[in-house]
Structure 1
Amino acid sequence: MLVHADDQVGEGVPAELAVFLRGAVDDRPVRVASSICGGCGGRVFFVLVNDCGAERECSGCGSRAFIADSEDYWEEDSWETERSGPAYCPCGKDKFEAAVAFSLGGDGSVRWVTVGLRCIADGFCGVYIDWEIGYGPTDHLLTMV
Structure 2
Amino acid sequence: MAISKNATSWYGDNDEDLATYLQQFRAGGYPVTRVRRLSCTLCGNATFLSLVDDDQGVAAVDCLECGARTLVADSAEHLDDAQLEGCACPCGGETFTVSVGYAVTSDNEVRWISVGLRCLNDGALGVYTDWKIDYTPSARLCPPS
One-letter amino acid matched to 1:40: C
> After superposition, what is the alpha-carbon deviation per residue over 1:46-99, rounded to whole angstroms, capped at 9, x for unaligned?
0110022101100011000100001101234x42xxxx5100001101100000
The Cα shift of 1:136 comes to: 1.4
Paired residue for 1:16?
A: 17
Task: Say which SS state the counterpart of residue 142 (structure 2) adopts.
Answer: helix
Task: Say which SS state the counterpart of residue 114 (structure 1) adopts.
Answer: strand
| 1:45 equivalenced with 2:48 (yes/no) | yes
Paired residue for 2:63?
A: 58
Q: Is the 8 A contact 1:35 1:97 kept in 2?
A: yes
Distance in 2 between the 1:100 and 1:122 partners?
Answer: 20
Q: Is the 8 A contact 1:28 1:105 kept in 2?
A: no
Distance in 1 between the 2:44 and 2:138 partners?
Answer: 25
Distance in 2 between the 1:118 and 1:139 partners?
Answer: 26
Output aligned runs, 1:70-89, within 5 Å. Answer: 70-76=75-81, 78-79=82-83, 84-89=84-89
Paired residue for 1:30?
A: 33
One-letter amino acid matched to 1:97: T
Paired residue for 1:131?
A: 131
Unaligned runs of 5+ in 2: 1-13
Output aligned runs, 1:69-108, within 5 Å. Answer: 69-76=74-81, 78-79=82-83, 84-108=84-108
Distance in 1 between the 2:52 and 2:30 partners?
Answer: 25
One-letter amino acid matched to 1:100: V
> After superposition, what is the alpha-carbon deviation per residue over 1:3-32, rounded to whole angstroms, capped at 9, x for unaligned?
xxxxxxxxxx71110111011013535110
Distance in 1 between the 2:138 and 2:98 partners?
Answer: 21
The Cα shift of 1:139 comes to: 2.2
Q: Is the 8 A contact 2:23 2:31 kept in 1?
A: no
Residues 18, 38 of structure 1: CA spacing in aligned structure 2 closer, same or farther, 3 A cutoff?
same
Task: Say which SS state the counterpart of residue 21 (structure 2) adopts.
Answer: helix
Aligned length: 126
Question: Scaled by the length of structure 2, what TM-score is found?
Answer: 0.81
Distance in 2 between the 1:140 and 1:109 partners?
Answer: 8
Question: Scaled by the length of structure 1, what TM-score is found?
Answer: 0.81
Task: Say which SS state the counterpart of residue 15 (structure 1) adopts.
Answer: helix
